Amino acid sequence: MEGEVISAVGILWRSLLLGAIIVLVVITGFAYTTLYERKVLARLQHRVGPNRAGYIPIPRQGQPERRLLGGFMQPAADAVKLFFKEDITPSYVDSNIYTLAPMISVFTAVMSLAVIPWAGPINLFGLELPYVAIAPGLNIGVLFILAVTSLEVYGIVLAGWASNSKYAIMGGIRSTAQMISYELSMGLTLLVPVMIAGSLSLNDIVLAQGERGWFVFLQPLAAIVFFIGALAELQRAPFDLLEAEQELSSGYNVEYAGMRFAMFFMAEYMNMIIFSAIWVTLFWGGYRGPFIDQFPLLGVLYIFLKIAGALFLMIWVRASTPRLRYDQLMNFGWKVLLPLALVNMLVTAVFLVLAEGL
Amino acid sequence: MLDHITAIAQGMAVTLKHFFLPPVTYQYPEIKRPVRYRFKGRHELKRYDNGLEKCIGCALCAAACPADAIFVEASENSDDKRFSPGERYASTYEINMLRCIFCGFCEDACPTEAIVLEHNYELSFTDRAGAIYTKEMLIVPVPEKGQPTPQVVESGQFNRSIPDMEDPK
Q: Is A210 helix (H, G, I), strand (E, B) or coil?
A: helix
Residue A319 · residue A166 · CB < 8 Å:
no
Instruction: Note the pLDDT of residue A214.
Output: 83
Residue A6: its pLDDT value, please? 55
- A320: nearest CB among B12, B21, B27: B12
User: By C-alpha distance, which of A207, A293, A258, A232 is closest to A99?
Assistant: A258
Q: What is the widest separation between alpha-carbon atoms in chain A?
A: 76
Please state the rounded mean pLDDT for residues A193-213: 83
Beta-carbon separation of A316 and B15 below 8 A: yes
Give the CA count within 13 Å in the CB-facing half-sphere of A97: 14
**pLDDT confidence of residue A2:** 47
| Residue in B15, B17, B30 to test binding to A, most A beta-carbons within 10 Å | B15
Percent of the residues in chain A that have a pLDDT greater than 90, as a whole number: 1
Q: What is the pLDDT of residues A132-178, one digit of tens each?
A: 777 776 778 888 888 888 888 888 888 888 888 888 888 888 888 88
Q: Does B126 touch chain A (CB under 8 A)?
A: no
Pairwise CA distance, residues A102 & A87, whole Å: 13
Higher pLDDT, B126 or A358: B126
- Does A46 contact chain B (CB < 8 Å)? yes
pLDDT in tens, A220-268: 888 888 898 888 888 887 887 766 666 677 777 778 887 888 888 888 8
- CA distance to partner chain A, nearest, from residue B28 (Å): 12
Task: Sort out which chain A residues have CB atoms less than 8 A from B25's CB and list them.
Answer: 46-48
Distances in whole angstroms, Cα of residue A93 to Cα of each of A89, A105, A167, B54 = 7, 18, 13, 66
Give CA angle at A93 (A90, A99), nearest 5°: 90
Greater pLDDT, A347 or A18? A347
Is A263:A103 a contact under the CB 8 Å cutoff? yes
* Residue contact B18–A321, C-beta within 8 A: no
Find the mean pLDDT for residues A189-218: 83
Asked if residue A151 lies in contact with residue A108, where contact means CB atoms within 8 angstroms, the answer is yes
Query: How is residue A333 annotated by DSSP?
Result: I
Query: Could you report the per-residue pLDDT of A318-329, keeping only the tens digit for each?
Result: 888 888 888 888
End-to-end CA distance of chain A: 47
Q: Measured between alpha carbons, how far is A139 from B30 in angstroms, rounded to an integer?
A: 57
| Cβ of residue A316 closer than 8 Å to a chain B Cβ | yes
Global pTM value: 0.79
What are the b/e assignments for A134-157, b being 16+ CB within 10 Å?
Answer: bbbebbebbbbbbebbeebbbbbb
Length reported for chain A: 358
At A168 the three-state DSSP class reads helix
Could you tell me the pLDDT band of residue A124, with boundaries at 50, 70 and 90? low
Query: Residue A353 — very low, low, confident or very high, per pLDDT cuts 50/70/90?
Result: confident
Over residues A298-307, the pLDDT tens digits come to: 778 888 888 8
Q: B59 vs A67, which has greater pLDDT?
A: B59
A324 vs B: CB within 8 A: no
pLDDT digits (tens, 9 = 90+) for B62-115: 999 999 999 999 999 888 888 888 888 999 999 999 999 999 999 999 888 889
